[in-house]
Structure 1
Amino acid sequence: MLRDWVDAARPRTLPASASPVIAATAYAWHYGVMNVVAAVICLLFALLAQIASNFANDYYDYKKGSDRADRVGPRRAVASGDISPKSMLMATLLTLIISCGLGLALLIWGGWWLILAGMIIVVFAIAYSAGPYPLSYKGLGDVAVFIFFGLVAVNLTYYVQALHFCIEVFWGSVAIGLLSVNILMVNNYRDVEADRLSGKKTVVVRFGHTFARYAYLFNGVVALLCTVNIWFSYNFWSIGAAILFFCVHIITWRQMCILKGTALNPVLGKTARNLLIFTIFLSIFLIL
């Protein structure tokens, strides 16, 4: 039973919510404004908000009939009968409530306007797969991921620690957002046929496999370019780290181009790993 809930939380994708907070906190350390308590609260809020979104996606994809019997992705909890729809819906609401409670603590540092920001994050966490205009069904999932796992997560995490915004942090948020989009890109690349049949118009369904492959490659390259000042501001170790990430990115991209169906499941995990590698390297050279 516990294993079913862990799988439903999709732990392979959680680096997408942890990485923005880690990167933003490293920037805060770099500029001498780090607030450990605020950073930890941001991390817990981000993880719980994503888990709630994953639960909601599992529930609403089942309700919409998107999780077909011929699905090639990982087992879905509700569609497979491991967790009842009612239990998944309740877990979604409970996780959202807990994340919102944690988010309220950030008002101590960021001010009351963060309530609006938190409400928008929660709405989009649900609107990703639910509501009258589910973003993931309209080809806007990638845009939502870029904005909320990149721009919003990084810049707001930095703000509650520094109480101001920073252009260097903004470019770091663009990099993190693009690499987060790659996680979704692999997921939709793998599921393109099932999504097309169920009417889920993802970016891959709209523009095809070739576009997705080169978008994936492009995102990794641009992420490095957005943070190029970090890689070239130190010694050869930082340049070496950038080259190492690029090599890992290319290897994963090649696997994405070659593999199909269930064989792409490990590529999804490797793409999340790549985001974490990028974040760790970036953070190391910000802290040093």
Structure 2
Amino acid sequence: MLFEWIAAARPKTLGAAIAPVVVGSVLGWKISGQWSTWLLLCTLASALALQIATNWFNDVLDFMKGADTHARLGPRRITASGVMSPRAVFTAAWFMLALAALLSVPLIQARGVAIIVIGIPSLYFCYGYTGGPMPLAYRGLGELFVILFFGFVAVTGSAFVQSGEWLEGGLIAGFQVGCLSTVLIAINNLRDQAEDRSTGKRTLAVRFGITFARLEITALILLAHLAGLYWWQHDFPRAFTVPLATVPVGLFLILRIWTQPPGPSYNRLLALSGMQLLLFAALFCWGVSRTHLTPL
């Protein structure tokens, strides 16, 4: 039973919650000199709770909308497979949202109303990604959501929690992490393009086709590294050069999506893209920690 819940949380995607928090926190620490392990742990746990809630809402809402069919190529969904009832999955997702909100209390105490301002939309879009009057995933807005909330908001917000400042560098790092986080959903949508088309889920891969989706993934990987030139130009060269070690992983992903038709093999690519994101974040943090930084 526990294994089923863990699988439904989609561990391969949880790097999208971990990477921006760690990157933003390290960046905020190096620029301000302030560090709080307690605030880092609360931020990280809250982000993970939001990510898991989003995945569980997606599980049950896709089932209720008829988007999960027998043709599904991705991992088994616990609602569609009948392992869990829709009510149970809904309850678990709402519980994770409540937990995320509770974990944000220390952040609000430390940094004030700004955390509420960015936290409320984050809570809503965990559900609004696949539910509500305009579900983002069904309107081709999933990639935009990821790059905004798992990139810009998560990185700059985490940097703000540590430093108490809104940092220009946080926006650049947020764009980089956001691009690589978006690769996960873009690969997922490319894999599911045929099924999504048949069920009316209008992702970008459905709207514009397989070639567009491949170009999108290619551009996201390349732009994540090109944006790193900012760090080179601002005398933080290691923040640019060290993460370049992940380029071979990105090139391998690009090669595979262009030479393999969408199918079950993309599940491995999804896992690899999650590894790429975490490796990039780790190397970026190492590069930043080894550089003498001045305020951006």
Question: Per the shorter chain, which TM-score range?
Answer: over 0.9
Give the match for residue 23 of structure 2. Answer: 23
Report 1:217-232 matches (<5 A). Answer: 217-230=218-231
Q: Answer yes or no: is the 8 Å Cα contact 1:178–1:223 preserved in 2.
A: yes
1:126-179 C-alpha deviation (Å, 9 max, x unpaired): 100001111000000110011000010001111111111111111010111111
Query: Is the Cα–Cα contact under 8 Å of residues 231 and 242 in structure 1 kept in the other structure?
Result: no
**What is the aligned partner in structure 2 of residue 263 from structure 1?**
265
Q: Matches of 1:229 and 1:171 in 2, distance apart? A: 8
Between the aligned residues of both structures, percent identity stands at 32
Pairing of 1:1-288 with structure 2 (within 5 A)? 1-31=1-31, 32-230=33-231, 233=235, 239=241, 241-259=242-260, 260-288=262-290
Residue type of the alignment partner of 1:214: L
TM-superposed deviation, 1:103: 1.0
RMSD: 1.6
User: What is the rounded CA distance, in whole Å, between the counterparts of 1:231 and 1:83 in structure 2?
Assistant: 50
Cα distance between partner residues in 2 of 1:204 and 1:64? 19
Tell me the alpha carbon deviations over residues 209-235 of structure 1, each in whole angstroms, 9 at most, x when there is no partner: 111111111111111122224468567
Deviation at 1:238, TM superposition (A): 6.5
Unaligned runs of 5+ in 2: 291-296
Other structure's SS at 2:265 match: helix
Q: Relative to 1, partners in 2 of residues 1:225 and 1:237: Cα closer, same or farther, differing over 3 Å?
A: closer
Mapped to 2, the partners of 1:27 and 1:280 lie a distance apart of 12
Q: TM-score, normalised by structure 2?
A: 0.93
**What amino acid is aligned across from residue 263 of structure 2 in structure 1?**
G
Amino acid at match of 1:59: V
Gaps of 5+ in 1: none
Aligned equivalents of 1:60, 1:151: Cα separation in 2: 26
User: Could you list the per-position Cα deviations for residues 225-282 of structure 1 after superposition, in whole angstroms to 9, with x for gaps in the alignment?
Assistant: 222244685678963x344211210011111222231011110010111111111110
Contact 1:21 1:157 in 2 (8 A): yes
SS in 1 for 2:71: coil
User: What stretches of structure 1 move > 6 A for 4+ residues in a row?
Assistant: 234-238
